[in-house]
Amino acid sequence: MQFNDNTPLEIVLKAIFDPYKESVTDVETISTAMIRKGLINREEDIINDHIAFRTLGVPNLGIKSLEKIFLAYGYQRKDAFYFEEKKLDAYWYAPPSPKYPRIFISELRVDDLSQNAQSIIRKHTQDIVKDPVDALDFEKPKEVGEFFYQPLWEAPTVDDFLELGKESEYTAWVIYNRYYLNHYTISVHALPEPYNKLEKFNAFLEETGIVLNTAGGKTKTSKDGLLKQSSSVAKMVNATFANGEQMKIAGSYVEFAERLPLPEFQAMDKSLLKREHLREGFESANADKIFESTYDEQVKKTATYHS
Ligand code: OOG
Ligand code: NI
């Protein structure tokens, strides 16, 4: 991501990205390998396709609350998605300029969980009686960015975390991580040939030691064939729970997206292709599997799991 203008939105995005980069070591591993391979000169050359957040559907939180931040900086809400089995709703948001990433925000359908899981969630969130986003001053973008890393509610106990995880791994992740940036996404189509093809880029990532999410296959392809996505598996990170208890849990991950030209632009000179010529939006079936990048089944494949 290269931002030169220091606009409020750029300051917010940077404040969201920096702590994520600090904790997700794959970010730097991948950038360094891409530089060594000559795919980019600097990390800032990577075009960030989108970033994603997770939230809980309870009063004063959820999509309705978090989206206000991005709407305030000029984003527009686009298509809705529904994930039956994972009990999630989501929207994506188009940026005010193609130089900024899209946003994907998902939300847990809390009422669809068991009474037991609901009561654990409500125990953590019931004291939030006002929308915390309403207290933000959008003219102070650094503070807005820092909001994503504020506690919002008490850290869960290890028992509550594990109990939630039995029913919904997404929920356990959110109850601990809250609005932590879930992933950023490298635009693979923007890289030099032949690494602008996701299958080739995936092989390069694996040579670099990156473990890919295999849910639904390493490459997830939309029905129209024009949006291909893959993702790394989240690494385990040290987490401090209530009463100071420590345990390793899944952190955040990195995604890779290849957007192909729309049928009417497929004959166009490749060097002239811009964002508006490429497949837009997201794909439910791809997203459904990408969520699993933080799920035990995938995460246990990383070497650090038992350390
Ligand atoms: C988001 C998963 C979906 C996409 O690009 O379809 C997604 C998440 O893991 O919270 O990122
Ligand atoms: Ni994504």
User: Tens digit of pLDDT for each residue in 251-283?
Assistant: 999 999 999 999 999 999 988 999 999 999 999
What is the pLDDT at residue 3? Answer: 72
Question: What DSSP state is assigned to residue 281?
Answer: S
- CA of residue 253 to ligand 2 center, whole Å: 10
pLDDT bracket for residue 1 (50, 70, 90) = low
What is the pLDDT at residue 302? Answer: 78
pLDDT per residue over 76-96, tens digit each? 999 999 999 999 999 999 999
Q: Which residues contact 260 (CB under 8 A, 6 or more apart)?
A: 189, 225, 226, 227, 228, 266, 278, 279
Nearest CA to ligand 1 atom 1: 291
| Res. 2: pLDDT tops 70 | no
Q: Which of 104, 187, 230, 288 gets mutated to test ligand 1 (max ligand atoms within 8 A of its CB)?
A: 104
Nearest CA to ligand 1 atom 7: 287
pLDDT per residue over 232-249, tens digit each? 999 999 999 999 999 999
- CA of residue 267 to ligand 1 center, whole Å: 30
Q: Is the CB–ligand 1 distance for residue 51 below 6 Å?
A: no
What is the rounded distance in angstroms from the CA atom of residue 65 to the CA atom of residue 135?
11
- Cα–Cα nearest to 252, from 19, 1, 12, 3: 19
What is the pLDDT at residue 304? Answer: 53
Q: Is the CB–ligand 1 distance for residue 287 below 6 Å?
A: yes
> Which chain residues have CB less than 5 Å from ligand 2, an ion?
52, 255
Nearest CA to ligand 1 atom 2: 291
pLDDT per residue over 104-127, tens digit each? 999 999 999 999 999 999 999 999
- The answer to whether 87 touches 112, Cβ cutoff 8 Å, is yes
| Res. 5: pLDDT tops 90 | no
pLDDT per residue over 161-219, tens digit each? 999 999 999 999 999 999 999 999 999 999 999 999 999 999 999 999 999 999 999 99
Q: Is the CB–ligand 1 distance for residue 179 below 6 Å?
A: no
Q: Is the CB–ligand 1 distance for residue 282 below 6 Å?
A: yes
Q: Which of 51, 92, 188, 291 gets mutated to test ligand 1 (max ligand atoms within 8 A of its CB)?
A: 291
Q: Is the CB–ligand 1 distance for residue 182 below 6 Å?
A: yes
Q: Is the CB–ligand 1 distance for residue 106 below 6 Å?
A: yes
- CA of residue 244 to ligand 2 center, whole Å: 32
Asked if ipTM goes beyond 0.85, one says: yes
**From the CA of 289, which ligand is nearest?**
1
Q: Is the CB–ligand 1 distance for residue 211 below 6 Å?
A: no
**Residue bearing tokens 């990205």:** 17
Beta bridge partners of 128: none
Average pLDDT, the chain: 96
Q: Is the CB–ligand 1 distance for residue 52 below 6 Å?
A: yes
34-55 in b/e form (b: 16+ CB < 10 A) is: beeeebbeebeebbbbbbbbbb
Residue ranges of domains in the chain, CATH in brackets: 8-306 (3.10.180.50)
What is the rounded distance in angstroms from the CA atom of residue 16 to the CA atom of residue 143?
10
- CA of residue 49 to ligand 2 center, whole Å: 8
